[in-house]
């Protein structure tokens, strides 16, 4: 793992410039600027992991004030996939997920996440045909954000009724216990603010 944890420009672009475009209030933008992210200026090539955590907290507090940080960051994780598919890299990656299916998508977790940072490591344990445990090394202060990405990514890959439970979170790494039903076609990606769609597609607990 890299000595300095960095989140790459394309990750910031996917969430803040694509998924959340038009949704960030002037107040939210000002809070982000104070933490080092100016969404109205050219992005830097990379951002410190601690800063990325601050950006997620601010976005969750501003966009989902009625939710807990766990619930809000989970929605941001789902929104991230929406924004990611609007990027050139995202279109290629998500098209591949549809071909691979849910199981092989999870097997590529390290590679998929490393497209947006320099630190992700993962370990996958198969418990059954559609039941897995995925350990990830650095999920920061908001493990629910990563859960939201996994949830939406698996739906793109063709899974239905996805459920995710978290365990063993120690402030760095976290284990996600994942279940789903197979589907013959992709059910799409839930909107970041579409709670009804999220309830239809699955759930997350232990956040």
Residue pLDDT, tens place only, 28-72: 999 999 999 999 999 999 999 999 999 999 999 999 999 999 999
Find the range with the poorest average confidence among 33-42, 52-61, 81-90, 193-202.
Answer: 193-202
Torsion 66-71-72-76 (CA) sign = negative
pLDDT (tens digit per residue) in 96-116: 999 999 999 999 999 999 999
pTM above 0.85, yes or no: yes
Instruction: Note the pLDDT of residue 3.
Output: 81
Instruction: Note the pLDDT of residue 182.
Output: 76
Instruction: Note the pLDDT of residue 1.
Output: 61
Mean pLDDT of 191-196: 37
| Structural domains present in the chain | 1-207 (3.90.1520.10)
**Mean pLDDT for the chain?**
90
- Nearest C-alpha neighbor of 87 from the set 18, 30, 41: 18
Q: What percent of the chain has pLDDT over 90?
A: 85
């Amino acid at each position: 793992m890299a000595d300095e944890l960095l989140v790459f420009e394309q990750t910031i672009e996917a969430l803040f410039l694509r998924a959340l475009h038009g949704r960030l209030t002037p107040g939210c933008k000002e809070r982000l600027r104070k933490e080092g992210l100016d969404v109205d200026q050219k992005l830097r090539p990379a951002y410190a992991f601690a800063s990325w955590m601050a950006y997620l907290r601010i976005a969750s507090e501003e966009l989902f004030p009625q939710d807990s940080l766990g619930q809000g960051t989970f929605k941001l994780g789902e929104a991230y996939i929406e924004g990611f598919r609007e990027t050139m890299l995202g279109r290629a990656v998500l098209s591949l997920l549809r071909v691979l299916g849910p199981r092989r998508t999870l097997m590529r977790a390290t590679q998929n996440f490393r497209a947006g940072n320099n630190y992700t490591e993962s370990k996958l344990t198969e418990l059954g045909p559609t039941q897995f445990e995925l350990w990830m090394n650095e999920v920061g202060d908001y493990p629910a954000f990563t859960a939201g990405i996994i949830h939406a990514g698996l739906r793109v890959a063709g899974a239905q009724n996805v459920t995710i439970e978290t365990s063993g979170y120690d402030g760095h790494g976290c284990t996600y216990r994942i279940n789903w039903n197979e589907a013959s076609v992709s059910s799409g990606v839930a909107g970041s603010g579409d709670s009804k769609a999220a309830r239809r597609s699955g759930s997350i607990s232990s956040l």
